[in-house]
Structure 1
Amino acid sequence: MRNYGGLVHAVGGFARHSGGNFVVLFSFAASVLALAAGFAVDISQLYNAKSSLQGVVDAAVTSTARDLTTGATKEADANKAVQNFLVANGTAGILRPDQIVLDRLIVDRTANTVQADVHVDVALFFPVFGMGNTSRVTASTTSLYSDKTIEVAMMLDVTGSMAANWWAKTDKIGDLQAAASTAVENLLDNNIDPNNPRVRVAIVPYAEAVNTGGLVDSVFVEQAGGSNLPPPVPSAGAPIPVGSSVTLRPDKCATERKDKDGYADYSSDGPSELRRNNQNQQYLAKVNRDDRMGTCPKPELIPLTADKQKLLDTIADFKAAGVTAGGIAVQWGYYMLSPSWRSTIVSARLGTGPANFDNRKVGKVAILMTDGQFNTAFAGGRGAPRSQNAGQMSRSNAESICDNMKRDGIEIFTIGFDLDDPSMTATERDQAKSVLQDCSTADTSTLKHYYEAATGPELNEAFNAIVQNIERLTIAK
């Protein structure tokens, strides 16, 4: 207490005998406080300018990278695209129009990146410590773009359970037509040059079988009690026949392709591949039309194309009928993305066919949609128990083919539509969901591959999400 009292007494004495000095000290303190306040204002201003500048340049580069990916902007025009964005959006935060300067833009064709370096000169409210009237704030950002092409095969369920139901007030086939049409439009709207499309789409409608349309020459028509294999080709040196079968075709449908022992074939080989039967005779690897098949779907498959109207017309032609041969659907989706089928598609004058498997140059995507349990197959896989029923075979075949697709680098998205329909048993629902989850590519922390939709709007949302994910995949992989 004695020490504190002495300190108070000393301060009081200084105040009584040094009034002038106290005023000087107060003025000095006020000046320091003013400088500190001005410096704080400048720091805050520079921070806000930095934040605003970074946000604008991030958006400019991301937008330009997206336009480079879709083809809306050419590499030669990237500088102008970024500059225009900076001018149009340069009033963010405290920034003023035309204040942002683009110092450098680098489009790296090897790394597929766009990098922009920019700056603004910010006027200071209170220049201090020898600073000028302005201070330069810089920002830099880099974004990936992609020059890949995209191939998408959509395997769409047109079975009888998709039919409109007046009693339940549902129209699932109509919901599918609306959602699939929107997806096709969104995918193909990214094509800038119709003569050099970046995105192409294939449609594989399926029920008990797949209607091969213009690819009917790839089909071998079985006869009851006859062989499961096409006839042997002529001896070496003789021309290979172009017809698929001497049997009159009842329709253009196909089921599973069978190997020489009658098992389901999970490969994506083209139908012109030569194989050997158990008598060591060569035959063409055509796809079977099982003699037990009953109903052929009306809508035909469409190989990869950028013809939007052709795809939309096919979807509009969907009619719901038949049972669900999901393994056959997945098989034909695989064919539509496999370069092994290119020559067959070209020969049928149905386009240029799929590109080679090369993740650096092309993104291949399959979308499998169904509203129920896979319940139909005409051949089981080698090694499968003979006690398997048609549903078990169909699901097993689908999963095995999906494994091969993913091995080849095909990204698979799946959609279960109205799988909680009360007309399905719990076992049927579980089996339907299980095969779709197993077929889809594994989810990541940022990318979803398996979707469920209970209503038409939810189905549309699922397709829209997949379309957006396809664009993200194109850049990320």
Structure 2
Amino acid sequence: MRYFGGLVHAIGSFARDRSGNFAVLFGMVASVLALGVGFAVNVSQLYNAKSSLQGVVDAAVTSTARDLTTGVIKEADANKSVQAFLDANSRAGILSADQIVLDKLTVDRTANTVQADVHVDLGLYFPIFSVGDMKRVAASTTAVYSDKTIEVAMMLDVTGSMAANWWAKTDKIGDLRTAASGAVEDLLDNNLDPKNPRVRVAIVPYAEAVNTGGLASTVFVEARYGSNVPPPIDAPVSVSLTLAPDKCATERKDKDGYADYSPDGPNTPRLDNDGKTYLAKVNRDDHMKTCPKPELIPLTADKQKLLDTITDFRADGVTAGGIAAQWGYYMLSPSWRSAIADAALGAGPANFDKKKVAKVAILMTDGQFNTAFAGGRGAPRSQNAGQKSRSNAEGICSNMKRDGIEIFTIGFDLDDPSMTMTERDQAKSVLKNCSTADTSSLKHYYEAATGTELAAAFDEITENIEKLAIQR
């Protein structure tokens, strides 16, 4: 009890001396609270500055990487590009003008990355713990860029079903001119150096056949009831020379008359059934009737030449989709480089190398593939022309994808009431089978019901092509 009484007495004495003890206690508590508030304010200030700085440097490096990829700037200009972006956005968040310092910019040509290290010296609201009134905040970020070149072959349907229809108030060939022209503009606008273009585009208009234009010397014109392969290279000139009524070509045939799915160049030596050597030119089948007017254009960065060709599109003929796929393959195959160069039609395609070049094919049609002049080896002889055309297209597309070519397909107005359900399903099936498999970020098969949707499909594909360019 004595101990308990002493404790009561001590508490009573403390309570009576409020003027001194409470003042000391209050001062201690207030100091701790002030320190806590100051620390919290500083932490919040540093967090916000770090967040703002990281956002600015992320945007600066991403923008610079994109400009390096698209060719807007050169590697030597990367530092200036990042600094300009930092200067323009230095007031982000709680940052002040001209605070951001670019410590280091690294362009790694092996990894194809751009890395920036930056900092700001931040004036603290509450200098405490003898750290002074300034605190350095640093940030770093890395973005991937690409120095790949891009080659795009556009296989475009100019068949009779694309013609303007006043009764249905449609003009599909006009819609195609608009959409394809927009895609060419988008793809080629970022070429800064005409002598060393980053992007080149080929146009393959198709109907019953493909008009080879300046590549007409690569075509073997069949004679009625004649051979399916060109004469041997040592044959007399009179035997080798066959006058062509036009510049069109159909499928290339092998020595047995089957469709040839390879990308081999027209000067590739082959052996016929007699063991004699001939050159693998592309056939002009003797049953072909209508040669489309617009000529194919091999890979070029000459935007106006491509746009002029698209402007001249006229709708006529039937749909030989397998022949279209074949010529799109040729326009991207390095095996055709010498033939294209010899015809003074450009440098021709680069080698197949996914690290250095993105090769892309766009196959567009408004209907069912219904025409072919040869079927693939091993295919049933009972196949009709439509079945042969679809099978040939799928076989060629398979080889294109094997060689690393990314294929996008567009079905235009496939729900047209003039098509039966079977025709519609067959048209969609071959386009889906030809296209590269979709990924989480890239779509490859498109359907467009109107001209507006067709243009939107081409727009999205051109955006996807840029995404492909930065994939490792």
TM-score, reference length from structure 2? 0.95
Cα deviation digits, residues 147-203 of structure 1 (max 9, x gap) = 111111000011111111111111111111111101101111111011111111000
5 Å matches for 1:276-425? 276-425=271-420
Match of 1:4 in 2: none
Output one character per residue of 1:362-387: Cα deviation in whole Å (capped at 9) or x when no partner.
Answer: 11111111111111111110001111
- Larger displacement relative to structure 2 (271-280 or 124-133): 124-133
What does the per-residue CA deviation read over 1:193-241, in whole Å, with 9 as the maximum and x for residues that have no partner?
1111111100000011100001011111112211111111107xx9xx7
> How much does 1:89 deviate?
1.6
Partner of 2:51: 51
Match of 2:38 in 1: 38
CA contact (8 A) 2:251 2:283 kept: yes
Letter in 1 for 2:27: S
- Secondary structure at 2:417 match in 1: coil
**Matched-pair identity in %:** 79
CA apart distance, 1:17 = 5.0
Moved more, 445-454 or 293-302: 445-454
| Residues 256-295 of structure 1: pairs in structure 2 closer than 5 A | 256-295=251-290
Q: Which moved more, 1:65-74 or 1:353-362?
A: 65-74
Q: 1:21 to 1:279 in 2, by over 3 A?
A: same
Deviation at 1:261, TM superposition (A): 0.5
In structure 2, the CA distance between the partners of 1:157 and 1:245, relative to structure 1 (3 Å rule), is: farther
**Which residue type is aligned with residue 468 of structure 1?**
E
Determine the C-alpha separation between the residues in 2 that align with 1:102 and 1:89.
13
In 1, are the aligned partners of 2:202 and 2:297 still within 8 Å (CA)?
yes
Give the total of aligned pairs: 466
Task: State the Cα distance separating 1:266 from its structure 2 match.
Answer: 0.1
What is aligned with 2:137?
A: 137
Structure 1 residues 301, 10: closer, same or farther in 2, change over 3 A?
farther
| 1:466 has 2:461 as partner | yes
Residue 196 of structure 2 is matched in structure 1 by: 196
Displacement of 1:26? 2.6
Residues 323-356 of structure 1: CA deviation (Å, up to 9, x unaligned): 1110000000000000111111111111111111
Q: Secondary structure at the match of 1:91?
A: coil
Query: CA offsets, 1:94-125, max 9 Å, x none?
Result: 11111100000111111111110000111111
Distance 2:265 2:431 in 1: 26
Letter in 1 for 2:415: D
Partner of 2:4: none
Q: Distance in 1 between matches of 2:175 and 2:35?
A: 68
Find the counterpart in structure 1 of residue 25 from structure 2: 25
1:347 and 1:327 mapped to 2: Cα distance? 26
- Gap runs ≥5 in structure 1: 1-6
Query: Does the 8 Å CA contact 1:328/1:377 hold for their aligned counterparts?
Result: yes
Could you tell me which residue of structure 2 aligns to residue 183 of structure 1?
183
Is the alpha carbon distance of 1:8 and 1:431 closer, same or farther for their aligned partners in structure 2, counting shifts above 3 Å? Answer: farther
**5+ residue gaps, structure 2:** 1-6
Q: Tell me how far apart the structure 2 counterparts of residues 132 and 168 of structure 1 sit (CA, whole Å).
A: 78
**C-alpha distance in 1, partners of 2:368/2:288?**
19
CA distance in 2, matches of 1:428, 1:12: 102
| 1:297-329, Cα deviation, whole Å (9 max, x unpaired) | 110000001110000000000001111110000
Does the Cα contact within 8 Å between 2:206 and 2:324 map onto a contact in 1?
yes
1: CA distance between counterparts of 2:460 and 2:14?
A: 77
| 1:319 alignment partner, SS class | coil
Distance 1:12-1:405 versus aligned 2 partners, 3 A rule = farther
Tell me if the contact between 1:220 and 1:245 (Cα under 8 Å) persists in the aligned partners.
no
Q: Which amino acid aligns with 1:334?
A: Y
**Is the 1:218–1:244 contact (alpha carbons within 8 Å) kept by the matching residues of 2?**
no
Q: 1:433-444 to 2 correspondence within 5 Å?
A: 433-444=428-439
**Cα pair 2:158 2:207 within 8 Å, conserved:** yes
CA distance in 2, matches of 1:430, 1:38: 70
Is the contact made by 1:415 and 1:462 (CA closer than 8 Å) also made in structure 2? yes
| 1:39-77 CA-partner distances (Å, limit 9, x unpaired) | 222111111111111111111111111222222222122
SS of equivalent to 1:344: helix
Find the aligned partners of 1:245 and 1:255 in 2 and give their Cα distance. 19
8 Å contact from structure 1 (residues 127, 133) kept in 2: yes
